[in-house]
Structure 1
């Protein structure tokens, strides 16, 4: 063993502890022991000693090994527990094992104790490895179920969202061929342009989704103001953009290290959402970006006074292909992509909204400063 084995001994007779230690040394074990002889002492040792194994006598004043074992399991301690006691019946030994003891050794046969300890530790290690393997398999299965579910939904929705604009363009072209007036032609061309833009937006969302799912996180020092301004410029000519006042407040306490592309995707989708769902009944439409950069954390709050989201829709707004309003003309991927992108960066996103008042998105993303980068 690379380091001394830490053994917690529950025993009220010091001489018996000496006999145990002598047999363990004869068995070639390197160890250190801590002895307790009361319930309170045992509880404190469980919290503070960080033992590798517990050796317990069965009967102590006002306390016994069964109670000790239950205390172990309730406190979450999962180290081997071996009963070291006087002569017992076969029925008692079976009961000990049923209660959860890993082994039992008679004090009259301590020569068996070193092997019992080594075997129990190996068995516990194998059990822990199996649990880790089972957990990994469970997580992989959950991920596969998620991927398959989203893929089915993705194929259905994308096929619909790609074909509908194409069929619309095809129909408009056929109508345009039958028209001779210039005014009617321009109207049809405008409608075709809108359909093509819808198709283009859907394709962009598919590309963002695919890149986020498959591309590794690329951490570099980034200028968050440049990213927000870039997003605003990209959507400058989106319908309704000119009617929204956009403000940026940045508190920069530290340089920011993150993935510039993914941050741009987040801002593009949130800004596009605010523009799309602005409230034309209000005198002024606005979107505020509140950004704080700390040594460990990037905090983003995007607030608008748009139409808002009814409370019963809020739990679903980050779902793939979900549309919370009839005004939605996209594929329903925007907020899903925001959540997936934030999670890819190791962060979390939340939304607060009141119908008719506005919506606020709150995002927290780790700041991957040099030395902390782990991607």
Structure 2
């Protein structure tokens, strides 16, 4: 049976050190074997002297096989650990998606009650307006659940819920399933999480009452677009050029300063771009553009 190998194993520093140690021991052992073979000191005509190096060579070769077996076991155990962690993450994400859909199921019944009430008073115009508004919200809810990368869907659900709990009006517009988005899902999750977290914090600390958050995920023939909008506050033009610098922060306590730097680094990792637009009467918008992959990622293939 062919042994599968996962490069993520080497992210574990302790495991790396153990494997390095075994490689060093194997190298030393191989060197000793060569010395035994090439040194005439161990090959005299005396029968007693010829038996000692042969025993040592056999013993060291047995050790070599043993070392290889140990490495195989370490790699297999590490792969199982990674698979278990990935399974637990997926399970948590699935539970969060189910919870999100249950909440919206409850909301759906509330919408039906409102429509029933409007029907009783025969307010047809309000019924049609309410239904149109509700259909848009429900459609976007299911579009989030149909995103091909669960990690991204979970982040959007979590942060949209957090914003709503903080009395921030949240609009979510999903126009793609991200089927051709390649790369580490955790990187994209971190990009969205940091941008949304910054937007929610900025709105929460602002003194205006009409607070709005917009989450847009769109695409064209070549790129995917992740757009995070908040109507307050406005970022001064002199600060806009610095916000992606490492360690730059506008907080009085000096904390933070890494979030947007990390976002920019991750975006550039996938040859993407990030742009900030902040103007009066328009609000603040962060737009991330990521080139599409030429082939479906493995996860999306399995979903199809």
TM-score normalised to the size of structure 1? 0.35
Structure (1 or 2) with the greater helix fraction: 2
Greater Rg by CA: 1
Q: Bigger relative contact order, structure 1 or 2, given CA contacts below 8 A and separation 6+?
A: 2
TM-score when normalising by structure 2: 0.43
Between structures 1 and 2, the one with greater strand share: 1
